[in-house]
Amino acid sequence: MQLTDNTIFLTGGTSGIGRSLAEAFHKLGNQVIIAGRRKALLDEVTAANPGMRGVELDINDPQDIQAVAEWLVKEFPTLNVLVNNAGIMPFDNAAGAIDDAVMQSIINTNLYGPIRLTAALIEHLKKQPRALILNNTSILAFTPLAASAVYSASKAALHSYSLSQRFMLRDTTVKVQEIAPPWVNTDLIGKTDDPRAMPLDAFIEQTMQALGSDAEEVVVEAARQFRDNAGPKEHAFVHGFNQMLADSPIEL
């Protein structure tokens, strides 16, 4: 992507990877609009980054998505980058009962939300001289975390959707890129400072550098083995990965 001269709308922009990405884009002189559910956090981030804008958005509500999309097109007619970043990661138990409300919340936030938001903005994006949809999936789309099976599956689905979306937009001005983060030290599952987690600042630095290329997929080097695992031999790799975490679990 071109890293400058953009008008960027980013969901989940009040913490973690989302906030850091928004601030990195903002420092490059882009007009950045962040979305989140809590106004107090939006106000905190925008106050720390003069010129950045914020808007309340419930990514689980189709009507709210449509209303915010209409507001964006009216207020920011040069909007040309959509960053689908909002996500939640509750743990579950694929060997037992799954709480239906939690399952639906994960799928709504991580999969339906990006699809609905993109659909609400796609015709506007097609009118721009250059535009980008940036989907934030996860390395767990390729090497699932068994203790968070629904989250892993939702990210695998968004990866698949991104592949189809990229093909369907091939003859337009809209490009599709995907970020597949590894375990990054954020508050997505509770900030633990576990040494196995990649420091957030290092992740953002490497990701921004890679985003400046034409790469369809951005995977930092520390996560490459988890991305490249997919294939006929993936079962043993996934089993070993999850056994390692079972033997040395994440302390929340």
Measure the CA angle with vertex 215, ends 211 and 220; round to 5°.
60
CA distance 44 to 209: 27
The secondary structure of residue 5, as a DSSP letter, is S
Instruction: At 27, give phi and psi (nearest 5°).
Output: -65, -25
Sequential DSSP letters for 179-194: E---SBSSSSS-----
Place of tokens 């905190």: 44
Instruction: At 173, give phi and psi (nearest 5°).
Output: -85, 0
Contact 184, 203 (CB under 8 A): yes
25, 112, 151, 226: the active-site residue? 151
Establish whether 151 is a catalytic residue.
yes
What torsion, rounded to 10 degrees, do the Cα atoms 199, 113, 106, 9 define?
A: 20
Q: Which residues are catalytic?
A: 151
